Amino acid sequence: MGGREGVPWSSKAFGLRLPADLGHTAAALVLVGAAYYLGARLGLGLSLVERNVTPLWPPSGIALAAFLVLGRSMWPAVALAALAVNLPISAGPVPALFTALGNTLAPLVAAYVLDRVGFRRQLDRWRDALAIVFLGALGSMTISATIGSIALISSKGTGGLAGAWVVWWTGDAMGVLAVAPFLLCIPLFWELEPWTAVRWLEAAAILVLTSALALWTASTDLALLFLVLPCLGWASWRLQLRGAAPAALIASLIATWAATHELGPFAGESLLEQMLTLQAFNATVALTSFFLAALVTERVGFARALMSAASGLEERVKTRTAQLTATNDRLRREILHRHAAQQQLTLEEARSQREHDIAETLQRSLLPDRLAAIPGVAVAARYVPATADLHVGGDWYDVIQLRGGLIGLVIGDVAGHGLQAAAAMAQLRMAVRAYAVHDPAPVAVMNGLHDLVRELPMAEMVTLLYVLYDPDNGTMRFTNAGHPPALLIDDGDTRYLDGGLAPPLGVLTRSDYTEASLHLRPGATLLLYTDGLVEKRTLSIQDGLDRLLTEASGAGRSDLEALCDHLLSTLPDLDQVADDIALVALQPVVLAGRPLSLDVPAEARMLFQVRHALRRWLRESGVSAQIADELEIACGEACSNAVSHAYGTSPGDMQVEARLVDGAVELTVRDHGHWRTPTGRTGGLGLTLIHNLTDALDVDRTPSGTTIHMRRHLTAEDDQ
C-alpha cells in the first residue's frame, strides 16, 4: 500500500497489497477506475448546480481509500475515471481536464498529508478521527472544489461561484467523511475477531433505528436532526468503527437526499445555507462517530492489554520464581568457585606486585641518585617512569668519570618491561662501566657489549648510545647502536647527530661498529634521550623528533636544568606516559672572560678534574704554558692539602677560585675543615712548593676552615 514505510497497518499485513507484477497492477487499476466511475454516476444523480456539482461525491472517498490501501500509484485509474466522468458533462475537453485534475489532486494530497501525520486505517485512535475529518475531508477537498468550480464557471460563463464552490466542497468532503471510513472499515470484518449472532442483531437494530430516525428528522419541519447522534454514539460505543462507519454513511446519505429535495430543515433555505447546514451536520456526524469509536477502541485495547498482562503475570511470577531458585543455586556454586579463584588471584597479584617492587627497586638503585660535579662541565638528567602500575622498564642513563679527565655519557633502552628488563639493564650498566674503565674508546666499549649481549640470555632488543667527551680539548667521540640520535644544540645550529650508526646490540652475528667525532665548543649542549620522549601512539616517530628539534631550538641557551624541565613539560603528557623517559644533557661551561669558581667534594678523585678545569681556564685566558703549568702545580698542592688535612675521614667540600686582577692570576683554595698539625720531616713541604711557584702566598687558618690565597704576575707576553 502507499502509506509510510514501517506503519503497523500496511496492506501486506492484511493481504491487500497487490503483487508487483503487471497483471495484478492492471487489475487493481481497472477495479479502482470502475468503482470511481460508478460512484460518480451515483453522485451526479443528486446534482444541484448545472449537471456536475453535487452535495455528495462518493468518488472522493473511493479515491482516498484506494490511495491509503493500494498506494498512491493508483492515481492513473482515478485520473482516467475522473476524465471519463467529466467529459460528457463539461463544456469542453479543457474544463473536463482541469476538473479531473482537481478530482485527482485533492485525494492525493489528502493521502499524503494523512501519511505524514501517521494516520492509521483502523481509526482506532482519536487523532486518526480528527485527521480524516479536518485534514482529509474539510482541508484537502478545498483543492478539488476550487479547481472544479473555477473551471465550471469559466466554461459556462455564468455567475454563482460561491454557491458552486460550497456545493462542490460539500460533496467532496461528504464523500471522504461518509464513504472513505465505510470502505476502510470493510477489511476489519475479517481482520478483527468475528461478531456473534447477538452482535449482528444489535448492529442491524442500530442501522434500522438510525435509518428511521434520519428519515423522520430529515422529513419533518422540526429541527430534530440531532436525534440521530445518540444512535451514532450507541454504534460507536458498542461496535466501534465497524458499526459507526455504516451508521454515519446512512445518516449522511439521508441528510444529503433531504437537502437535494429541500425537505425538512433544508426547506426554504438558499443553496449556500443548505450546503452549510448539510456540511455542518455531516462533519458533526463523522467527528462524533469516529472520535467516539476511536476512544472506545483505545480503551478496549488498553483493557485487553491489562487483562493479558494480568493473566500472564502469575505465570511469569511462577516461572521467575523457578528461575530465581535455579539462579540462586548456581550463584552459590559460582561464589564458591569465585572465592577459590579470588584467593588464587590474590596470590598472583601479590607475586606480581613483589616482582614489580623488586624491578622498581633494582631500577631506582642503579640509576644515579645525583650526578657527580664535574669542574668546567654542566650535566643534568631526568627520569620519568611510565604511568602504568606494572610498567617498570629498561630505560637507563649514566655519567662516568674516566681516567685522564674523560667523561663517558651512556643512555640505553632494554625493550620490554618488568623484572627481566630491569635485570638486563643492571647487567648492561655495570658492563659499560667495566669496559669504559678498561678502554674508553666508543668502538671498544660497543664491541664488548655486543659480545656480552650475545652471550647473555636476553630475549629483548637493546639499543644504546655511548659518548666519550674530553673536556680538555672539547673533542666528542660517539657510536650509536640503534638508539634515537643525540641532539646538538649550538645557538642557531640545532641538529641530530647521525654518525656512528649501527644495529641494536646483539642483532647481528658479527659486530661492525664505527665511531664519529665532533668538537663540542663551550656553551653548546649535547642531549641524549630515550624514545619515550618523542614517541606517542597518535604521532609517528618522525613527528616526535621534529617536535623535539623545534622545542630545543626555541629554548635558547638556557641552563640545563631549565632545558630538561621545558622539554618534559611540552613534549610528553606526563599524566599518560606510556613508556619510560630518560634524558641526560651535557654542556661545557664557558670559562673565558670570567672568573673560575669550582665547588667540589674534597676527595682525591676530584684533583685531576680540578687541574683539567684550571688548565682549560688558563689556556682560554691567554696565560703562557709555563706559567699555567706552575700555577696548576701550585693549585694542585693546595687542593691536596685540603683533601689530606681538612676533614680527615669525614666528608667535606672545597672551593677553588681563579681570576685575573691587574696583570696577575689570583688563585684561592678554601675548605671548611680543621687542619691537623703536620708531623714528620715532610710536613709543610707543599706550602714551600707553592711559595716557590707563586709571587705571593697567604694562608688564613680559622676554626671554620682554611683559605690559601696565591698570586702570580703575568709576563709581558701574557699581558699582550
Question: pLDDT tens, 98-107?
Answer: 888 888 898 9
Identify the three-state secondary structure at position 571. Answer: coil
- By mean pLDDT, which of 5-9, 277-281, 407-411, 536-540 is the weakest? 5-9
CB-based contact 226:283 (threshold 8 Å): no
- Which pLDDT score, from 0 to 100, does residue 14 have? 32
pLDDT 10s digits, 481-492: 999 999 999 877
Smallest CA-to-CA distance from 70 within 111, 113, 125 is with 111
Q: Answer yes or no: are the C-beta atoms of 417 and 459 closer than 8 Å.
A: no
Strands 664-671, 705-713: parallel, antiparallel or unpaired by DSSP? antiparallel
Query: Average pLDDT for residues 502-526, to the nearest whole number?
Result: 87
pLDDT at 362: 52
Residue predicted with more confidence, 237 or 635? 635
Q: How far apart are CA 502 and CA 384, in angstroms?
A: 27
pLDDT band, very low/low/confident/very high, at 670 (cuts 50, 70, 90): very high
- What residues are paired with 698 via a beta bridge? 709
Write down the pLDDT at residue 8.
39
> Of the ranges 297-301, 373-377, 436-440, which is most confident?
436-440
User: Tens digits of per-residue pLDDT, 367-390?
Assistant: 665 676 777 788 998 888 775 544
Residues 6+ apart with CB under 8 A from 285: 177, 228, 229, 232, 248, 251, 252, 255
Of 43-57, 163-177, 545-559, 699-713, the range with the highest mean pLDDT is 699-713
More confident residue, 67 or 2: 67
- pLDDT higher than 90, residue 528: yes
Distance of CA 161 to the CA centre of its chain: 65
Q: Taking each helix axis from N to C terminus, what angle separates 58-70 and 93-116, rounded to the nearest 10 degrees?
A: 50
165 within 8 A of 146, measured Cβ to Cβ:
yes
| CA trace torsion 479, 485, 490, 494 (10° rounding) | 150
Nearest alpha carbon to residue 467 among 545, 400, 523, 563: 400
Exposed e or buried b for every residue in 306-332, given b needs 16+ CB within 10 A? eeeeeeeeeeeeeeeeeeeeeeeeeee
Strands (E), 498-646: 501-502, 516-519, 525-529, 581-588, 596-601
Which amino acid is present at 197?
A
pLDDT at site 219: 78
Of 408-412, 517-521, 575-579, where does mean pLDDT reach its minimum? 575-579
- DSSP per residue over 58-103, as a string? HHHHHHHHHHHHH-GGGHHHHHHHHHHHHHHHSSSHHHHHHHHHHH
Residues 6+ apart with CB under 8 A from 446: 464, 466, 479, 481, 502, 505, 511, 513
Task: Give the pLDDT band (50/70/90) at residue 60.
Answer: confident
Give residue 73's pLDDT: 85
Domains in the chain (CATH in brackets) are 22-191 (1.10.1760), 193-344 (no CATH), 367-588 (3.60.40.10), 596-713 (3.30.565.10)
Maximum mean pLDDT: which of 283-287, 519-523, 644-648, 708-712: 708-712
What pLDDT is recorded for position 622? Answer: 84
Mean of pLDDT values over 338-353: 75
512's grid cell:
661492525
With CA atoms as reference, report the closest residue to 28 among 57, 60, 2, 61.
2
Q: Is the pLDDT at 659 greater than 80, yes or no?
A: yes
In this predicted structure, the answer to whether residue 169 has a pLDDT above a threshold of 60 is yes
What's the confidence (pLDDT) of residue 51?
52
How much is the average pLDDT of 118-136?
Answer: 81
Amino acid identity of residue 711, one-letter, is R
More confident residue, 300 or 478: 478
Mean pLDDT of 670-676: 82
Average pLDDT over residues 449-463: 79
- How far, in Å, CA of 148 to CA of 108, rounded? 16
Give the mean model confidence (pLDDT) for residues 568-589: 79
Q: What is the 3-state secondary structure (H, E, C) of 384-405?
A: ECCCCCCCCEEEEEEEEECHHH
Of the pLDDT bands very low, low, confident and very high (cuts 50, 70, 90), residue 405 is confident
| Average pLDDT of span 440-450 | 92
Over residues 21-42, the pLDDT tens digits come to: 667 778 888 888 888 888 877 7
At residue 281 the predicted structure's pLDDT band, cuts being 50, 70 and 90, is: confident
Reported as a pLDDT band with limits 50, 70 and 90, residue 711 is very high
Mean pLDDT, residues 458-477: 86
Q: What is the mean pLDDT of residues 678-697?
A: 75
Q: Which residues contact 106 (CB under 8 A, 6 or more apart)?
A: 60, 140, 141, 142, 143, 144, 145, 172
pLDDT of residue 600: 85
Query: 622 or 348, which is more confident?
Result: 622
| pLDDT averaged over every residue in the chain | 80
Query: According to the model, what pLDDT value does residue 130 have?
Result: 81
Q: How far is CA 292 from the centre of its chain?
A: 51
**Alpha-carbon distance 265 to 283, whole Å?**
17
In this predicted structure, which of 201-205, 218-222, 616-620 has the lowest mean pLDDT? 218-222
pTM of the shown model: 0.49
